[in-house]
Each structure stands twice: as C-alpha cells, then as structure tokens.
A and B are shown apart, each in its own frame.
Chain A
Amino acid sequence: MSEHYPALLVILPLLASFFISAAGWFRPVLCFPFTVAGLAGSLLVSLGLLGDVMSGGPVSYRFAGWDPPWGIYYRVDHLNALVLAVVSVVGFINLLAARSSVEKEFPEKAGPFYTLYVLFMTGLLGMVVTGDAFNLYVLLEIAAITGYALIALGKGRAPLSSLHYIFMGTIGASFYLLGVGYLYIVTGSLNMEDIARLLPPLYESKVVTAAFVILMVGVWLKMGFFPLHAWLPNAYTHAPSPVSSLVAPLMTKVMVYVMIRMVVTVFTLDFAFTFLGLNDAVVWLAVVAIVMGSLLALSEKDVKRMLTYIVVAEVGYMVGGFWLGNSAGFTGAVLHILNDALMTLCLFLAVGNIVHVKGNSRMESLPGLFRTMPWTMAALVVGALSIIGVPPTCGFFSKWYLLLGALEAGHYGFLAALLFSSLVSVVLFFRIFEVGYFEPLGGSHGSAHGDDEHVVREAPLGMLVPLWITALGLILVGLYTGEIVGRVIRHAVPAMML
C-alpha cells in the first residue's frame, strides 16, 4: 500500500468531501466525523511518507500509469515531505478547534463549510506533492476558490475583502499560468524535472526570463510578499476565526514552498542565482517586507489585524532566507515554513478563542483577560515568545539559521531587518501582555464589574486542547530542531548551496 501514499494523500480528503457534501443533506451530524476521517487519513499518510522518504529517499508516483513527460507525476523528496507533514498537521489541529466556532457561528452551513475545508486541504496538499507545473496550477485554483468562499463567510466587511482577494489572487494565479505557458512554448513540457532538463540551452532566450519574472511575481502575489500584500490583512482579519487560523498559517507557507520548488527544481539555481543574478535584489525586497510588515503591525489596534501584518513580515523572512543563496539561509527558510505555520496557528487559535468569548479581538477587550481566560492567554504567550524568538521555542532556531545565513552571505541589511523585526515583536506582544495583565477590567469605574473580574470564562475545551497541543508543539519542535535539520532539511538543501 505504501507505494500509493502520494496518491492517497490527496485522494482521501477529496473522497471525504463527497461524503461530507451528501451528509450535509441527509445527516448533518455526520459531516464532522467524515471530515475528521478524511484529514486524519491524509495526516497518517503524510507522516508515513515522511518516514519513507527519510529511510529510503525520494518517492515518486505515476498517475494513470503513464511515464513522466506524458502523464502526471508526483514526486516526494525531503523538502516536500516535510512541508506535507506540516500542512496536514496544521489543518488537522485547526479542524478540531473549528468545531465549536462552526456550531456557534453558522450551524446550518456546517455541511458546505466542511466540504470546502477538506477541498482547501486537498488543494494545498496537492500543490506541495505534485511534480507537474500545470497540475500545480489546477490545485492552486482549488485552494484559491475554496479559500475565497471560506473567507467571505465572515461578518461585516468579509465579502468585500474576499472580493478584493479574488481580484488579486486571480491575477497572481494567472501570472503563474502565463509563466508556465511561456515555459511550455519553449520546452514543450509541463513536467518539472523535464523542464529543468530542457532549459539549460535556452537560458539566453528572452521567453525564459520573462516566464521566470512573471511566474515569480504571480507567486509573490499569492503569498502576500510586500508590496503585493494589500489583500492579505483585510481578508485574514474579516474571515471567521476557524478560517483565518486555517488560511493564514498555510496559504502563505505553501506559496513560499512553491517559490522554492520552482526556483530549485524547475529553473534551477544556476539560472536564478548565477545567470540572472537576482538574489541580492530579492533579499533587499525581503528586507523592505520585514521592516514594513513590522511597522504596519505596530500601528494596529486590533490583535487579529496586527497578526496579519506579522504574517506579511514573516513572509519576508522566508523569501529573504531562501534568496540569500547559502545552506544556512535555505535551512532557516525551510525550518521557518514549519515553525511559522505552527506559530501562526497558535496565535490565530488563541485570538479565535478570545473572539469566541469576547466577540472581538480589539485592544479594549483585552483588560483582565489573564484572569478570565488564563489558559488561552498562556498559550498566546508561548506563541508570542516564539515569534519574538526566545529559546527554547522553535522561533528562535529558525531565526538563528537565518541570521547565520545573513552573516555568511555578508548581507547586513537582512541581518538588521531580522533584529529590528524581533524588537518590534517584543514591543507588540508586551503591549498585549501589559494590557491583559495589569489593566483592570471595565476601565476606571472599577467596582461596576468588580465581581466579574475573578470569574474564569474560558473558551470551550474543544478549542483549548488544540491550542495547547500547538503551544506544546512549538516548544517540542524547538527542542528537536537538531533532529529535524539533521535528518530532513539537510538532505533537502540543493547541492549548489553546500
């Protein structure tokens, strides 16, 4: 059975979506169990794949039994095996936390909600596992369409933000497709490794350069790389909590993976780094992204909205780390895909709990929260420490690798941006801690709400347990960083960077 893992990974959630959809019409109570079954299946398969890749090297799968350039081909190596595990773990944990919110906010729409949830996961997993440039586009469309719909489900301005996201996202996806089309015109192939084999004699061609530029811009647009991030804060802020804690940790990270995959496997580092020589310019763009993301986060009064700008800054970390072009930078970027997915999940889940209890996540609702919601706030502290980069949380280690990479490349601008953004995070989160811990509940009038102050009003257990699994995961991943880097990421580093 294990030779079918790459297919099962995508097929199990896809098949689950039909059962969820049908259950939504006949027996809505079954929707959630079907969703859990589908995603648990793909979680187990992705862990199995990671094990297979770690012990036996890359795994491949030929769909419909056709050989690579003619049929569609999946290939799992150390890089995407790790990202697959991250995506399926995050999606599964968030699903467990989503149940209470769904029952509270839109119980009658649970069927279509869970259907789109698993389809979104199908799209993301497929994008990561595929070895075919066009197949990646189709799965990108699935993840995008379901993502738009889930975001538009929020209240107030959510549909408008989602519409804005649709426009920008569609442009990004079209740019990606255009890039793939240009590559097809000059190589006649859609298979990633086949394109890489055919490209070297064509480096001089203007078509390849144009394809590269357009494709990169498209991917950057989808990941919200500054200054192409304009759609991101609104879309992620107005989305319902279970959706923002699904989309925010995963979509940007998967797009960073797509960027790495396209540069490393399709265009090859020879072309992107040596022939075009773009690396320095892109790292500077990343510097701007980190600085601007941090500054914009500083000006926000809503915790959830602040987090979305932190996501923008974190995208800068990963893009910059990769384009530094050395082994430490690459390790940092890939490790940060893992860490940032968990950190963002932890923070968005914590904010989701606050919204669940308080109705919003503005600074004014924070006073006294350490007393009334101790568990949620404690997890928020763990997530915040990880974003700041305090050992032993995992955020410290990826930042450490990124700093090493910046030093090795002699790129002091990136180094400074990393330190600056860490300092800004300290300010951001300690402001939240201060308000939550020291400011009395109910403002200056004190006694009016005095009785409420010591009553614990926590989010339901179904939301707390996933949050704490994530928070503990942050520390565990931090402690096992050496293992992860040594046994997985080191094998993913392209030979040219060693």
Chain B
Amino acid sequence: MKILGLVIVALVGSVLIYATVDFPPFADPESPASLHVSPRYIEKSLDETAVPNVVTAVLADYRSFDTMFETTVIFAAGVACFLLLRIPRRRPPGPRHFRHRLTGLTFRVKDGENGKEIFLPLREFEPVDSVWTPHDFIIEKVCRYMIPFIQLFGLYVIAHGHHSPGGGFQGGVILGAAIILLSVSHNLRTALKRMREKTGALCSALGVFIFAGTGALCLALGYNYLDYRALAALLPGGPIMARSHGMLLVEIGVGVAVMGTMVWIFKNLASLGRYDEGL
C-alpha cells in the first residue's frame, strides 16, 4: 500500500511539473492572468468604487458574493465544532478546586453525600481549574494592559481596510485573538465572563447576517443582490460612494463573524466542549 501511495504521489507530482513547461514566465507582465480581467480592477476600481485598495475592492465588491460564502464557511465551521464538541450536560462529578482570595491557598473540595456539589462562598474563594494553572502575576498584568490596545488595533485594521492592507478577516482575527489571549493568560472562566458562549455564537451568526443582509437590502431596494449602489438611497454621497460604504458595512460584518467564530471554536476545543475548565 505504501509503495502504491508513493507511485501515485510521484505520478500526480510529475503531471503538475509536466504542466509547468507551458506556464507563462514567472512575473511576466504579458501573461494572460495580468491581461484579461486584472487591468480593469487596477485601472478603474478607484473610479468605480471609490476605494483605493484594489484588493479590498475586488474582494468586497467585484467578487463580494464569493467573500460572503467564505465568511459563511467560517460560520459553518463554528457551528460544526459546536455541534460535535459541545457536551450539554453539567460537569462530571469529581473534586473541584478553590483558591482563597486573601491567602492564595488552594483547597480541594470533594463532592458531598450522594454526589451533591459543594460550593465554597465565592466572596472569599475563587474556583480554579483542577489542572492547576500557575498564578502568574506578571503575565496576567501585562496581558491585561495589552488586550485593550490589541482590540483597538483590530478595530483600526477593519476600518482601514479601504486604504491599507487589512479588512474584516484580519481585523476579526486580531479581535478574536485578544479574547483568546485573555483566556490563555488567565483562564477560561475569566474569558467567559467577558464574552459568554452565547455572545460568541450569536456574533458568528450576526456577522454573516450583516453581510448577507446588506445584500438582501440592496435586493429589496430594487437592485441586484449585493449591488451597493442601492444604498445611495439611504446614505449620502451618490452611487460610487455608496459602493465604498457598502464595503465598509460588509467588512464590519466579516470582522464580527470572524471574531465570534474564533472565540467560539477556541472555547469548544480548549474545554473539550464542557465550558468549565481549560486554559
């Protein structure tokens, strides 16, 4: 079987290499890919869409319908992780750990008679993970100060996608990473307090809904699906500016969806679907 596999790999590889003979030369300005559709994108996108960043214009306007489904793929991945990993039952019976807030001493509390859970008063004790996470003062504090700035930068990347590299996907990942960093530096419980499971999941759906809804709004206003010119009826600036505004709206949707989905998937994976302990 192994040899057969190697033969197949060699065969496919040689087909791919065989084809490169007829490739246009590397970085050839005369190659078909640079002559057919791209000239219009490069020369006209500023006039047609009022967005200086060509990549954003292609992604969020000319081929916006693809991008909408790319975002849907992310949403579907989030739902898939949730469907397969989430365990709806409460935590399994077993000892729990609590840390005394003042002294930092950790207590191991067994389940009481007939499996009843015993809680220590939360004013004096905080629950900690059974796989004990070190109480690292420096990491906690540094992350705590960094996270707001990371989030601010994420917002900047989303908003500035029209002019510089960036946009909804990248900004969304940065926003999601900020929450994940909180979870890694503290623990899952702290991160869950900032962003509940439901919030993450709803953000994931809401973000794609903003994208698809923008398209549906254009349709309701009598234009084709995702034809942002329709938004000129609601926003100032005429049809060309409306394309730019439409793209911003859509990018915000992508950002929200990506952030929500990243956090959602992370929490499902890190806690094995139990949402009680984890990083």
Chain A residues with CB under 8 A of B224: 4, 7, 61-65
Evaluate whether A65 and B37 lie within 8 angstroms (CB atoms) in the complex, with A112-B83, A116-B79 already known. Answer: no
* Given A70-B37, A206-B22, A207-B19: A116 in contact with B66 (beta carbons within 8 A): no
Q: Are A116 and B80 in contact (CB under 8 A)?
A: yes
Chain A residues with Cβ under 8 A from B107's Cβ?
none
**Interface stretch of the complex, out of B69-77, B139-147, B149-157, B184-192:** B69-77
With the chains together, A61 CA to B24 CA distance in Å? 33
Choose one: B33, B72, B77, B213; the contact of A188 (CB below 8 Å). B33
- Which residue in B16, B77, B219 is a CB contact (below 8 Å) of A4? B219
Q: How would residues 17 to 61 of chain B score, 1 for a CB under 8 Å from any chain A CB and 0 otherwise?
A: 011011110000001111111101100000000000000000001
Interface size class of B (residues with CB under 8 A): 35 or more
Residues 162-201 (chain A) with a chain B CB within 8 angstroms: 178, 182, 184-190, 198
B63 touches A72 (CB 8 A): yes
What distance in Å separates the Cβ of B11 from its nearest Cβ neighbour in chain A? 10
What residues of chain A lie closer than 8 Å to B61, measured between beta carbons? 64, 66
Determine whether the beta carbon of B65 is less than 8 Å from that of A63: yes
A18 and B33 form a contact (CB under 8 A): no
- Give chain A residues whose Cβ lies under 8 Å from the Cβ of B16: 178, 210, 214
A110 nearest CB across to chain B (Å): 10
Given the complex, which residues of B lie within 8 Å of A15, measured CB to CB? 209, 212-213, 216
- Alpha-carbon gap, A113 to B15, bound state (A): 41
Partner pick for A108 among B18, B63, B88, CB 8 A cutoff: B88
B19 and A209 contact, CB distance less than 8 A? yes
| B229 at the A interface (CB under 8 A) | yes
Within 8 Å by CB of B63, from A7, A65, A71, lies: A71
State whether B226 touches A64 (Cβ < 8 A): yes
> Is there an interface contact between B62 and A66, defined as CB atoms closer than 8 Å?
yes
With the chains together, A122 CA to B208 CA distance in Å? 14
Q: Of A148-156, A249-257, A276-284, A427-435, which binds chain B?
A: A148-156
A-B contact count (CB 8 A): 167
**Other-chain contact of A145, B21, B73, B205, B206 (Cβ < 8 Å):** B73
Rounded to whole Å, the gap between the CB of B31 and the closest CB of chain A is 7
- Write out, one digit per residue, whether chain B residues 209-222 have a CB within 8 A of any chain A CB (1) or not (0): 10011011001000
A138 at the interface (CB under 8 A from B): yes
User: In the bound complex, what is the Cα–Cα distance between A116 and B81 (angstroms)?
Assistant: 11
Residue A268 at the B interface, CB < 8 A? no
> Smallest Cβ distance from A333 to chain B, in angstroms?
27
CB-CB under 8 A for A187 and B36, given A64-B65, A72-B63: yes
Q: Smallest CB-CB separation from B222: which chain A residue? A: A4
Q: Is residue A211 within 8 Å, beta carbon to beta carbon, of the partner chain? A: yes
User: Is A343 an interface position by the 8 A CB rule?
Assistant: no
Residues of B within 8 A of A69 (CB): 36-37
Distance in angstroms from A74 CB to nearest chain B CB is: 9
Q: In the complex, how many angstroms separate the beta carbon of B94 from the nearest chain A beta carbon?
A: 22
The answer for the CA separation of A135 and B67 in the assembled complex, in Å, is: 9
Taking CB atoms and an 8 Å cut-off, the chain B residues in 89-148 that contact chain A are: none
Q: Which residues of B contact A206 (CB under 8 A)?
A: 18-19, 21-22
The residues of B that contact A210 with a CB separation of less than 8 Å are: 15-16, 18-19
A381 to chain B minimum Cβ distance, whole angstroms, is 35
* A1-59 residues at the B interface, CB under 8 angstroms: 4, 7, 11, 14-15, 17-18, 21-22, 25
Most B-side CB within 10 Å, residue of A63, A135, A139, A182: A63
**Nearest-CB residue, chain B, relative to A175:** B12
Contact B32 A149 (CB under 8 A): no
Query: Is the Cβ of B83 less than 8 Å from the Cβ of A116?
Result: yes
Contact B83 A139 (CB under 8 A): no
Are A70 and B62 in contact, with the CB atoms below 8 A?
Answer: yes
CA A119 – CA B24 in complex, angstroms? 39
Contacts of B83 in A (CB 8 A): 109, 112-113, 116, 149, 153
Across the interface, name the chain A residue whose C-beta is closest to B198: A25
B225 lies within 8 A of A122 (CB): no
With A185-B31, A187-B36 as contacts: A70 and B212 at CB distance below 8 Å? no
Q: Does A205 contact B (CB under 8 A)?
A: yes
Q: B72 to A142, Cβ gap below 8 A?
A: yes
Known contacts A4-B225, A206-B19; 13 further A-B pairs (Cβ under 8 A):
A17-B75, A18-B212, A21-B202, A66-B62, A122-B72, A132-B66, A142-B69, A146-B80, A149-B79, A186-B24, A188-B34, A206-B18, A207-B19
What are 5 A-B contacts defined by CB distance under 8 Å?
Answer: A66-B62, A135-B69, A188-B32, A189-B36, A210-B15
Shortest 8 CB-CB contacts between residues of A and residues of B: A188-B36, A210-B19, A149-B80, A65-B227, A188-B32, A112-B83, A7-B225, A21-B205
